[in-house]
Structure 1
């Protein structure tokens, strides 16, 4: 699905590529929808791991932490563009199918939870506090990253995307945080 898109990810195509039987697929997953839920969980986990794995220098400030996380995510995006395109495709497809709509909600709840953890960890590591509720800021961060992801998938301009993320972090931190006293 990362390579050929969501529509190409039929259970028959998946088992053919995996070299397994359809019965084996259904032993692991009750349905394709269950596989898609697991896919969301794993991809969001990879995204968060990429953002969290970024090296942050000793004594770094809040903006430095968030810039490092953004750079880590951008490296992930460059390595796994098909996975990120699939996630966008999956969200939009799920919104059109009432049976799958909960999957899109689950996907964005997972993004928001990951952003919440990232913001809380960055604040704790730097002694900063957020002026607005972290869940609200996490939703804003998800919207920023979604826009940057979509734009990068269209133009593949890493330098421009990095510059936009750097500027967004600067504005985000200046507007919404303060150092602990």
Structure 2
């Protein structure tokens, strides 16, 4: 007999099933029937929770955003610097510490990172086709990343006794764009040593946008 779960738990279960399917075969392999079979429920249960594939993919995008936000907050929360130092040197230490904590999370979840790019592309295509629900996925993904990066940069400046010389949202957007490229290239060649050097270069570039108080 099918276990009766609260609606939110059932939705979360179906979203996880959909993401597992997508990780194995891409977003195109996600169908209402495939999700029902993977989750061990009837088609009616999936249709009750999600009126269409677009609604299901939108929920997948929201779940990935939440997971990403939690991962970034955890990684940036690990940022540490020598408390005897202040100024630009301390800022570099904090930035490097936060990015170094972020990378293992990314490296441990390559299939989910690839899925994030796939869902972004899917959302943009749906947006171009006029599907507002799925089209909002990409905007939500980047808005969340922007917010986490801005909070991290502001915290780093406060704890190091420095200030940013450009609007922090602009710096966050730049840094995230570079990280996007680094992750995508790593998904292609899996060159971890190159990533270490690239993240160090990013820290050098970003700290040029700060001065000591």
With normalisation by structure 1, the TM-score equals 0.87
> Which residue matches 1:160?
194
Distance in 2 between residues matched to 1:12 and 1:46, nearest whole Å: 30
What is the Cα-based RMSD across aligned positions, in Å?
Answer: 2.1
Query: Rg bigger for which structure?
Result: 2
2:65 to 36, 41, 46: 41
Where 1:129 maps in the other structure, the secondary structure is strand
Where 1:132 maps in the other structure, the secondary structure is coil
1:171 paired to 2:205:
yes
1:135 to 162, 166, 169: 169
Distance in 2 between residues matched to 1:66 and 1:20, nearest whole Å: 46
> Which residue matches 1:19?
40
1:110 to 137, 144, 149: 144
Where 2:211 maps in the other structure, the secondary structure is strand
Distance in 2 between residues matched to 1:106 and 1:140, nearest whole Å: 17
1:149 paired to 2:183:
yes
Say if 1:39 and 1:62 are closer, same or farther in 2 by CA, change over 3 A.
same
- Equivalent runs, 1:83-94 vs 2, <5 Å: 83-94=112-123
1:120 to 142, 150, 154: 154
> Which residue matches 1:56?
80
Distance in 2 between residues matched to 1:29 and 1:179, nearest whole Å: 52
Q: In the TM superposition, what is the alpha-carbon distance from 1:23 to its structure 2 partner?
A: 4.1
- Is there any run of 5+ residues in structure 2 with no aligned partner, and where? 1-21
Ranked by relative contact order (alpha carbons within 8 Å, sequence separation 6 or more), the top structure is 1
Q: In the TM superposition, what is the alpha-carbon distance from 1:36 to its structure 2 partner?
A: 2.4
Task: Write out per-residue CA displacement over residues 65-111 of structure 1, whole angstroms, 9 at most, x where no aligned residue.
Answer: 11112112210111111111111111122111221322111111111
Residues matched between the structures, number: 179
Q: In the TM superposition, what is the alpha-carbon distance from 1:50 to its structure 2 partner?
A: 4.3
- Is there any run of 5+ residues in structure 1 with no aligned partner, and where? none
